[in-house]
A and B are shown apart, each in its own frame.
Chain A
Amino acid sequence: MNKKPDDVFIYPKTWINEDARGFVATVEDWARKEIISKRLEYHKEYKRLFAEKRKKLLFDIGLDKIILPEKYGGFGWNTPGRAPDMFSVFLEIGKADATIGFMAAIKSACLAIIAMEPGIDESLLDELVPKYFSEEPKNVAVILPGPGILNVETPLFMGRSIMASVKSTKAGNTVVGKDLRPTGGGADADLFCVVCADKAKKPCIAFVPSDAKGLKKGKPIKETGLNACTNADVSFEEVKVPKPYLVKRDNAVQEIYAWLNLLFGGISLGAAINFYEILYDWADTRTIKGGGRLKENPLCASVLADVAEEISSARLLGLGLAHIMAQSGDKGGVGSPSVYTFAQMIGSSMQKGALAALNHGMELMGSAGYAKEWHVEKHWRDIKTIQAYLAGVGSDIPVKMDIARFFYDLKEV
């Protein structure tokens, strides 16, 4: 393909801040040079093979500190106004490798609740930045509310079970939870961001270092995609964490969801756009029906159109969400009911769109789409993994309940 994807998946350029375009271009350059152009070498062992590339992105380019205030070495993107820029950056990473984006997205989303204006929490940043933003990559895993267990009554976050609890005393906090399933990356995590219920059964967020006494990681879990990181269940047996490590601010959990939806959306769309490029070349050169070009066959053309349509609409939706988040100040912030609802709604749509693009496009590629060599199946598995993680439990029903609750003032669900 000799066109730039941005020239076909058009969007109003002013939707991205001018001073961010250079950084987005740098990340795009990294994606192409470091991974996309060398694709054939990467069939497996992504974790090992991508380690150096990831480091380059995190430290040489500086993505690791994207969310931090300038005072902490960040580049001052710690305002919701940077949401469109963040979305665009993660989209570029997704083109190369969803896992690299995924791990950075989780770290950014979790830290956003203490690093983003107007909720900057310097006492916690002072603790965490030196330990988790050093020369070597430090990973964060998030434990969100999700499925509950039969006959175990749990505190709820909008219907989803909060499986961890925290007791606060003057000396500090004690986190308890058994066999909790992180949203990816549990085995690799250096720091856990855990949604817990406090004594009043209200959701709050505890940051728990992985080397804390009483924290136990389970065996590595084999998962569908995102194989450049490894997940594992984690248990907290009366784990003590210092006082500032607990964030009790209202709507902080909603904020994490909002950022995750936005950034995960960017990653999945990036993967889908890279798939589009691969599909473009396939449809351009493959012949069917005894010699006709695949793309000139009207049935195939209509499927190709579906792929382009899904990606285009999802990208515009994602940028729309980014702007809603950027201008969330007058609505009560990123974690306010309206912004949270839109983030869940659009986040879910973006994942569906990206996955539909892959699913349908693969139908045109026969076995090639299924072979590791073409890299298509990897994007397909990665997007599906992100989609299932984001769903949490019950497919899109919890999100639908969030939407209905907001739009129709439901009282009971």
Chain B
Amino acid sequence: MNSFDEFSRPEEYVSPGIKHFRMVLRNLIEKEVMPLRRRFDEDWDEHKLIEPLFDRIMGNKGLGTQKSLFPEEVGGWGLGHSDHLGGFAYAMAEEVGRADTGFAVAFLVTLWPLLTILVEPHVNWRLAREFAPMFCNSDKAVFAAMCMTEPQGGADIENLELLKGKTIRTTARLEGNEWVINGHKLWPTNTGGVADLMAVPCTTKPGSDNPDDYALIFVPADTKGVTQGRPYEKAGMAADKNSDIWFEDVRVPSWYRAHGPGTDAKVFMKFIIPLGNVGSMGMLVGAMLNLYERLYEFVSTRTYNNRPLKENDAIAGLIGKIAGDIDVCRVIGHEASMIIDRRNKPYGKPLDSPEVIGKTRNMKKFIADTAVEDFGLAMDVLGVYGVDRDWDIEKHWRDIKMIQLWMGGKQLCQMEATRYFYNCKTL
């Protein structure tokens, strides 16, 4: 095998546009992000090193990816209208995740909440026009955040199919032509002062399990009453800042609600969960591709019994398993992206269907569990060098653990998958 890119992917799934885009992105990532990534951990608070790199990927003077979802009419790339949305999302996550999954999540989460208002057939043109200048006309990186998790728990808020928003404590009250928001969120990617725009799942009637009472409301970060805390210190994912956010009588125009009763819950289920899973898978597989690259170097140049590690039959069994897992996971990741891109085909499934939610949750769980295991194993193959930042694997190991834990955690993935596969009613 000559390159990590030879790990399997169904070639017919990958459009020429995606192939080209991947190469451009890869080039930039390899030249600019990879050489600095080993210093990200120390830059977790200030982002002095990290911030200019985001400008290169997201802002207009760089690749301009932050405008990708916006319709061409308002200055974007029109990805929201594309049949290759899933493929692009997966490709971006894989390419950037190869360098650093914390960097990937910060960049991709900017697009995440925007999916709910920019993807056909749910384009909210008024909001698209209103938010377009912010993202499409900036040389600097502009970030968004998807603020779901609350102090009492994030999993229940994502478990919309079962709990239907009943545990959300952040409230939205309509007063004249303004929403008044009160509540406390924590952990969203791109908080801690990073995000310019936040999407906030709220309830219009606390304790209600009527999806009509679920409101997804956009809040510019500089709105009066929004307070963001200091970023938390974490095990990894240094390129992503996370903090508390308090909403105290925060007033935004009534049209900042994504769509309206019923549809807000629907777009959350359609885009936030399945595409969140696809993005997570892309990041994991990207990191695994880099694991292969670094492991390849180590097992080819270091020895056991005076023979290259890779030529020892028993060690070969281990590293063969790792490569085999990467091969399989990459196929699964691409299949997940196609589940998204088949949505409008006669044989496609609605993205908010239990099938899509259950299957993508399961796929994400499978890849996350496999990645956690393989990175741990690879660190032990490197032994005394496995914990050394310069070999990159340990950093990925710290970072990717969180991908297993976020979006409601492993158990929610298991339950949503089982719910679909066995037609369970109470899980």
Contacts and interface: CB of A to CB of B under 8 A. Distances in A.
Interface of A: 43-44, 144, 146-150, 152-154, 156, 159-161, 181-183, 221-225, 286-290, 297, 299-300, 303, 355, 359, 362-367, 369-373, 377, 380-381, 384-385, 387-389, 391-398, 400-401, 413
B388 A221 contact: yes
Interface string B386-427: 111110001001100110111001110011000000000000
A131 B394 CA distance: 36
A392 B383 contact: yes
Interface string B146-163: 000100111110010011
B301 A363 contact: no
Q: Of residues B38, B300, B387, B389, which shows the largest number of chain A Cβ atoms within 10 Å of its Cβ?
A: B387
B385 A384 contact: no
A44 B233 contact: yes
Contact of B318 (A182, A288, A397): A397
5 contacts: A153-B306, A286-B153, A370-B402, A384-B387, A396-B380
A395 B377 contact: yes
Contacts of A370: 234-236, 401-402, 405
Contacts of A288: 153, 155-156
Interface of B is mostly: helix
B283 interface: no
Contacts of A154: 303, 306
B340 interface: no
A161 B233 contact: no
B200 to A, nearest CB: 18
Interface of B: 38, 41, 149, 152-156, 159, 162-163, 166-167, 186-187, 232-236, 242, 300-306, 308-309, 312, 314-315, 318, 372, 376-377, 379-390, 394, 397-398, 401-402, 404-406, 409-411, 414-415
Given A150-B300, A289-B163, A372 B234 contact: yes
A222 B306 contact: no
B162 A222 contact: no
Given A154-B306, A288-B153, A43 B233 contact: yes
B372 A359 contact: yes
A224 B234 contact: no
Nearest to B308: A150
A290 B166 contact: yes
Contacts of A362: 401, 405
Contacts of A381: 235, 398
Contacts of B156: 288-290
B149 A393 contact: no
Nearest to B395: A224
A370 B405 CA distance: 9
Given A224-B387, A366-B155, A367-B405, A149 B318 contact: no
A363 B382 contact: no
Contacts of B305: 156, 159, 413
Nearest to B415: A299
Nearest to B414: A299
Given A367-B154, A397-B318, A147 B232 contact: no
A183 B385 CA distance: 10
A235 to B, nearest CB: 16
